[in-house]
Structure 1
Amino acid sequence: MIRLSTLPLLLSIALPAIAQPPAPTSILPPAASPATPPAVLPPPIIVPPPVPIPPLSPAQEAWANDWLQKGAEQGLMARARATGPLTGQALITALVDRAKALGTGRVDSADFLNVWALRPTPVDPRPALARAVAEDRLPQWAAGLTPPYAGYDGLRKGLATYERIRDKGGWPMLSADSSPDAVRKRIAIEDPAVTPAEPLSDVLQRAQRRYGLNPTGLLDARTLKELNVPVDERIGAIMANMERWRWMPRTLPVNRVQVNIAAAVLTVFEGDQPVKSMRAVTGSPDNQTPMLSSNIHSIVVNPPWNVPASIAKRELWPKGRATLIRQGYKIVGTPGGGERIVQPAGPNSALGRLKFDFDNPFAVYLHDTPSRGKFSSYDRLASHGCIRLEKPVPLAELMVAADPNLAGKVQELIDTGKTQRVSLPSQVAVYLLYWTAFASANGTMNFRSDPYGWDKLLASKIEASSRRLDPTAAPSPALASKD
């Protein structure tokens, strides 16, 4: 049985200023008039002064300067440079800035793409820093700043490994004519489990699984391309994924649905443990699935498809009205005198038999599909932005299991052919995330391609923000030229 909680929605309200018209002028002498009542103004917004931070002792200053030099270990910049020790207010400012970077990300959310809708909650680190200085607990304070997730810690360790590889010269480029020994040595740089006696096909299969490729055991073009990705790009991908972890809330619902957009995989967590996983189809590079968090509140059984205007204009209207009607679409009038296209519910509906609804500004959702062939592919970024599901019925059964009137009856509802909305007994937290680098349980790094180009963009933003805000940051040779 799955019991899932909701996430709060943050609303902001802007009040427009009201302009007063100018007073009328007159050539007559002023007459007595009642006193104008004073304007009623809203109470002033009182911004409390920043929490004062006590001066650091010499020992605390020495520790703080050493800690600031270790920002590269957390993926906040690709390299650090030696700087003179900071003191006084300059040191406190640097500590506050570093705490914000570790707590909510180095890149300001104002610089996010619109589709990066997973926004961190702002946190003021000054009160906790003030207590840590007063109680002489700076190391403990610093240890609590980073995301408390094994996924983040695995990336941190992976970053150190790949930086060591970079500092030793990286890896050689391979070609289709490279010798088996050269291929084995190249893979062993990333995979310490490789042995001289292991069949090369097994070595290649393990590498292909780490890259999310079809494990053929052959050095095909896709595998060769992944093996030839420069080590600096792998470091940039790790940095970008560490930053995304910093955007996550410090406490996740223990029961939730997560979609890895880049890997096109959906995972259900129950009690904070993965209990079900399935393949998905996510947005193509031209129709990116947004990163966001929300709550699944209902399931539409046998849903019709109200074709979005953009898809209708680009893909359906060019076919002609007669063709659309012949294919089963309906053309419906709109209040403004226009027309829209609707695909009725049924076995051929693009939404299949189930649609999982959650509030978001992008009109995306999880849904079934009659086109099942893509699920057997290793290239599954092909939707218009929504997430198609390999096993929607078992997922729906998990979500309604707590309702005795619905448990075990999802297929019965489908078989009626009737379109109906089913409210869930408890809303289900859903996260659409973009993970292109993550560590296995044994610490080996896994990578997925960067289909949307978000890794390079985010890594360059991290570098730019670090150079602008962090006195210990220095540009990365690989990324500085890409700003």
Structure 2
Amino acid sequence: MASVVGLVSVPGLAQQTPAAPVVQSVPPVAPVQVVPLPTLSAAQAAQLGQLLADAGFAHGLRHDGTAKPRLDGNDAVVRAALDYARAVHSGRLDISDFQQDWGLRPVAYDPVPAFADAVKRDRIAAWFRALPPPYAGYDGLQKGLVNYRKIEANGGWATLAAGPDLAVGASGPRVAALRKRLAVEDSEVAAGGDKFDAALKEAVVRAQRRYGLNPTGLVSTGTLRALNVPAADRVRQIMANMERWRWLPSELPAKRIQVNIAAAVLTVFEGDAPIASMKAVTGRPGNETPMLQSRIHSIVLNPPWNVPAGIAAKELFPKGAAYLARNNYKIIGTGAARRIQQQPGPKSALGLYKFDFANPYAVYLHDTPAQAKFASFDRLDSHGCVRLEKPGPLAQLLLRNDPAWQPEQIDEALGKGKTLRVQLQPQDQVQVYLLYWTAFASANGQMNFRGDPYGWDKTLAAKIERRSAITAVAAR
């Protein structure tokens, strides 16, 4: 059974007797209940110490093997276990570490009750195993972390020299170096030889697909850039993505919409399986699409665009009245209060559909008349909202259970050209997640990477490392 060897203060639970009369103008101190931490048996302490030895390293809470807490005595072991539990269950970051546009925040988690129960029932190992996010995506990253740590420990890979594009028929030292570089991540590549043959082209195509590049088989600047990202940076990229998984709820709704901001792709899930996917256009660097979780509650047909003041001042007012009139913009108000609204119609920047969900960033999913960008592999080009390749089918999918809004009724309303907000029925309102996934594993375990256009991976990995070092020092 537990005995008092370490203490946790919980405000608001136990009564205390004031040491002196309370002055009327000063609020009383919140009552505090002292919760005892359990005493571990010698066997439990040894078991937990072993479990903790490299757990933070294995879950990407440290980049290298340093910053381990010293586990001297029962209190130190217990507090290290609770710190690890919080970090691997709901994220290493403190709330002060979050950037404003990292709107996806983990739910507060108190590991003490479950830990105390595990000690009492002598089920510490089972408690420990249940802490990480219960997602295959997280498991795939953890396995990838092991592999890329090994690659880094073995020296990583050499930087490929710049030069003319490489294609079938090329030969020489640069081709030999390319073959050697590809072989590090792709077991199907034979490392020897300096000829660019058909087999090497297929290996280049596989690499380009792993990095989200146009799979041409031609090695040009973009492919070289992706191949030359150091192995240590790939490790940090995996660490950052594992942390983001820890910010998600322990159970995602079976019906949801996910947008991968970095890859600019939207996926619809039903029954926890993907049923539809489409290309998207997300925010360009400087106009980042925020990470967030919300719920789509309505669809606006023929939406007007209320132009944000910053965009109006920088991009539209300078173009003059003629340009605004030609593109169906209307100036509303005068003086400092004036603003711009683009009227519904074929020229509207929001197209025919706008999908609304509550959020503090004023972003949403929407249609667009500018379709050319969907043919590009680099689709970060918006002011922060998410443009959709196929908004019509998405609207029909979300409204399919509403007899008043079948495809014929939707088309009729669109044809009238008037703005109309269609409220989704409560059971059809769907959770939406805007996520920043730049590293993920395929079903076969192969790691895939995307660019870090916002620089969030490096920033997050550094915050994880710094916060782990702080907690390690505090534990001494």
What SS does the corresponding residue of 2:181 show, helix, strand or coil?
A: helix
Q: CA deviation at 1:199?
A: 1.2
The answer to which of 418-427 and 353-362 deviates more is: 418-427
State the AA in 1 paired with 2:203.
V
Q: Which runs of 5+ in 1 are unaligned?
A: 1-37, 474-483
CA contact (8 A) 1:151 1:438 kept: yes
Q: Which runs of 5+ in 2 are unaligned?
A: 1-22, 164-172, 192-196
Residues in 2 aligned to 1:402 and 1:40: alpha-carbon distance in whole angstroms: 58
1:122 aligns with 2:108: yes
Residue aligning to 1:12: none
Q: CA deviation at 1:83?
A: 6.8
Residues in 2 aligned to 1:411 and 1:472: alpha-carbon distance in whole angstroms: 62
Residue aligning to 2:158: 172
The answer to which of 261-270 and 319-328 deviates more is: 319-328
Q: CA deviation at 1:40?
A: 11
Q: After the TM superposition, which residues 393-404 of structure 1 pair with which residues of structure 2 at under 5 Å, given as runs?
A: 393-404=392-403
1:358 aligns with 2:357: yes
State the AA in 2 paired with 1:143.
R
Q: CA deviation at 1:311?
A: 0.3
Residue aligning to 1:16: none
CA contact (8 A) 1:260 1:432 kept: yes
Residue aligning to 1:57: 41
CA contact (8 A) 1:397 1:407 kept: yes
Residues in 1 aligned to 2:394 and 2:323: alpha-carbon distance in whole angstroms: 35
TM norm structure 1: 0.86
Residues in 2 aligned to 1:337 and 1:168: alpha-carbon distance in whole angstroms: 62
Residues in 1 aligned to 2:127 and 2:72: alpha-carbon distance in whole angstroms: 19
Q: After the TM superposition, which residues 121-270 of structure 1 pair with which residues of structure 2 at under 5 Å, given as runs?
A: 121-176=107-162, 178-195=173-190, 199-270=199-270
CA contact (8 A) 1:180 1:200 kept: no
Residues 200 and 144 of structure 1: CA distance in aligned 2, closer, same or farther (over 3 Å): same
The answer to which of 147-156 and 464-473 deviates more is: 464-473
Residues in 1 aligned to 2:228 and 2:423: alpha-carbon distance in whole angstroms: 49
Residues 79 and 324 of structure 1: CA distance in aligned 2, closer, same or farther (over 3 Å): same
Residues in 1 aligned to 2:431 and 2:287: alpha-carbon distance in whole angstroms: 23
Residue aligning to 1:295: 295
Could you report, residue by residue, the CA deviation over 1:83-134 in whole angstroms, capped at 9, with x for unpaired residues? Answer: 7543211111111111010111111122100000101011100011111111
State the AA in 2 paired with 1:73.
A
State the AA in 2 paired with 1:77.
R
Q: Alignment identity in percent? A: 56
State the AA in 2 paired with 1:393.
G
Q: CA deviation at 1:184?
A: 2.1
CA contact (8 A) 2:211 2:448 kept: yes
The answer to which of 191-200 and 445-454 deviates more is: 191-200
Residues in 2 aligned to 1:352 and 1:185: alpha-carbon distance in whole angstroms: 48
Residue aligning to 1:35: none
Q: After the TM superposition, which residues 415-454 of structure 1 pair with which residues of structure 2 at under 5 Å, given as runs?
A: 415-425=415-425, 426-454=428-456
1:73 is aligned, of 40, 54, 58, to 58
Residues in 2 aligned to 1:120 and 1:388: alpha-carbon distance in whole angstroms: 27
Q: Number of residues paired by the alignment? A: 434
Residue aligning to 1:272: 272
CA contact (8 A) 1:238 1:437 kept: yes
CA contact (8 A) 2:58 2:146 kept: yes
Residues in 2 aligned to 1:222 and 1:413: alpha-carbon distance in whole angstroms: 45
Q: CA deviation at 1:42?
A: 8.1
The answer to which of 441-450 and 60-69 deviates more is: 60-69
What SS does the corresponding residue of 1:263 show, helix, strand or coil?
A: coil
Residues in 2 aligned to 1:412 and 1:68: alpha-carbon distance in whole angstroms: 62
Q: CA deviation at 1:172?
A: 1.4
Q: Indicate the structure with greater helix content.
A: 2
Could you report, residue by residue, the CA deviation over 1:422-474 in whole angstroms, capped at 9, with x for unpaired residues? Answer: 0112211000000000001111110011000000000000010011103699x
Residues in 1 aligned to 2:374 and 2:343: alpha-carbon distance in whole angstroms: 24
Residue aligning to 1:18: none
TM norm structure 2: 0.87
Q: CA deviation at 1:338?
A: 2.0
Q: CA deviation at 1:47?
A: 4.3
CA contact (8 A) 2:297 2:356 kept: yes
CA contact (8 A) 1:69 1:80 kept: no
Residue aligning to 1:285: 285
Q: CA deviation at 1:365?
A: 0.1
CA contact (8 A) 1:65 1:86 kept: no
Could you report, residue by residue, the CA deviation over 1:206-250 in whole angstroms, capped at 9, with x for unpaired residues? Answer: 100110101110111100011010000000000000000011100
CA contact (8 A) 2:69 2:80 kept: no
Question: Highest relative contact order (Cα 8 Å, sep 6+), 1 or 2?
Answer: 1
Q: CA deviation at 1:298?
A: 0.2
Residue aligning to 2:10: none
Residues in 2 aligned to 1:372 and 1:47: alpha-carbon distance in whole angstroms: 60
Residues in 1 aligned to 2:270 and 2:319: alpha-carbon distance in whole angstroms: 46
Q: CA deviation at 1:160?
A: 0.2
Q: CA deviation at 1:174?
A: 1.1
Residues in 2 aligned to 1:143 and 1:341: alpha-carbon distance in whole angstroms: 55
Residue aligning to 1:7: none
Q: Cα RMSD over matched residues?
A: 2.1
The answer to which of 316-325 and 166-175 deviates more is: 316-325
Residues in 2 aligned to 1:472 and 1:68: alpha-carbon distance in whole angstroms: 16
CA contact (8 A) 1:68 1:472 kept: no
Residues in 2 aligned to 1:366 and 1:326: alpha-carbon distance in whole angstroms: 25
Residues 472 and 221 of structure 1: CA distance in aligned 2, closer, same or farther (over 3 Å): farther
